[in-house]
Amino acid sequence: MKGFIKESEEKILDYITNNIEECIDIGIREVAKKTYTSTSSIVRLSKKMGYRGYTDMAYSLRSHKAKEEFAALDIDSRYQVRERSETGKFIDCLLHKKIAVYGEEFSGIVGQYINNRLFTLGIESHLLDCIDSKLFFDGIGKTYDAIIVISNTGESGKCLNILKNAELSTKDYLIVSFTGKVENTIAKNSDVSFVIEGISTENKIVKQPTPFYGNVILGFEELLKLYLEKKRSL
């Protein structure tokens, strides 16, 4: 890049890349002021790099940066685990076990996503219904090996009921939980506990923004990446 653009242009590019959201919001004139240059210099830079203009360059840089950040995701930065071995347990679970998944309300949407992703990868899974959970554990649930539960607070009554029915059954299930707090009842009753950054709330409806649900999905995709890497190595 240094041999392709001037040092002054590289400084402009670095500023835009490091402040990409702000630069998209404020537009080319304000970017020119902040970089002590001119709009025409920024336009020349964008065309030199093969873009139609400033806007095309800015959105392309944002997309490229997002891809780099996703590729560089570190599972440990997104989750807390009690022991590193628990991540390995979960990967082995995906490799060898039949899995049932449960979440309620917003966590239910995440649960459905996880269930669908498992299905597309050829992993036998079942989306649990709390009302029929006892029937599940008394019936086809006996052929399953693991239960995944998702709860922001880690205190969901319906999730705890699922775990209770699993415990009352004759099968020894591997319990995997995704929760938003380090200390919670569901995590304490789980064999594998992933704690995800979130804002835990007891309210039925989440009234403030929380990264919990999105982080569960993103982190789960990272776990799938580890699963696929291990599967290819077998």
Identify the pLDDT of residue 73: 46
In this model, does residue 83 exceed pLDDT 80?
A: no
Q: Give me the phi and psi of 150, to 5 degrees please.
A: -120, 125
Q: Is the pTM of this model over 0.75?
A: no
Sequence ranges of the domains in the chain: 7-71, 75-233
Which fold is adopted by the domain 75-233? Rossmann fold (3.40.50)
Q: Which residues pair with 194 in a beta bridge?
A: 81, 178
Q: Cα–Cα distances in Å, from 34 out to 9, 40, 51, 65, 216? A: 13, 14, 21, 21, 37
Pairing of strands 79-81, 192-196: antiparallel
Per CATH, which fold does 7-71 belong to? Arc Repressor Mutant, subunit A (1.10.10)
Higher-confidence residue of 76 and 156: namely 156
Is the sign of the CA dihedral 132, 137, 142, 145 positive or negative? Answer: positive
What is the tens place of the pLDDT at every residue in 9-24?
Answer: 889 999 998 899 899 9
Model pLDDT for residues 120-175, shown as the tens digit of each residue: 999 999 888 766 777 788 788 788 889 999 998 888 888 888 888 888 887 889 99
Q: Compute the radius of gyration of the chain from its Cα atoms.
A: 23
